[in-house]
């Protein structure tokens, strides 16, 4: 299935999760299995949190955060309030397909230069 996820983009260009397991580095084009990381102050929901659209009004956007188009499987659908983006998915596996820059112009991280 295809969805969208907001990632943190570090100064060195690598991508990582926003909040849970922040030290993890994710490489576009590789599959990553979800891991269980209970984090104080956050509800525990096992799996990669994925949006059905590039919409997460409850999260800060821009700056060091970028949207990516992702492929995922092992799906659980979560209905959240519209103020939190509406439909979320929890995926047990995720692969980053394409990354959007701050202007939301599509650029592929996996294409050869």
Per-domain boundaries in the chain: 2-107
pLDDT at 92: 95
Element (H, E) at 23: none
Going by C-alpha positions, the residue among 46, 54, 62, 40 that lies closest to residue 86 is 54
Residue pLDDT tens, the chain, 113 long: 999 999 999 999 999 999 889 899 999 999 999 998 888 888 888 899 999 889 888 888 888 999 999 999 988 998 988 888 888 899 999 999 999 975 554 443 444 33
Going by C-alpha positions, the residue among 7, 4, 1, 2 that lies closest to residue 66 is 7
- State pTM to two decimals: 0.82
pLDDT at 103: 55
């Amino acid at each position: 299935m295809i969805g969208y996820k907001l990632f943190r983009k570090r100064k060195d260009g690598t991508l990582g999760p926003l909040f849970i397991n922040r030290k993890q580095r994710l490489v576009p084009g590789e599959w990553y299995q979800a891991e269980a990381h209970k984090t104080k102050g956050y509800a525990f929901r096992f799996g990669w949190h994925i949006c059905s659209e590039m919409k997460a009004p409850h999260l800060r956007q821009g700056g060091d955060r970028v949207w990516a188009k992702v492929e995922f499987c092992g799906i659980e659908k979560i209905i959240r309030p519209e103020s939190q983006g509406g439909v979320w998915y929890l995926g047990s596996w995720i692969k980053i397909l394409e990354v959007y820059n701050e202007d939301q112009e599509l650029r592929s991280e996996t294409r050869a230069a």
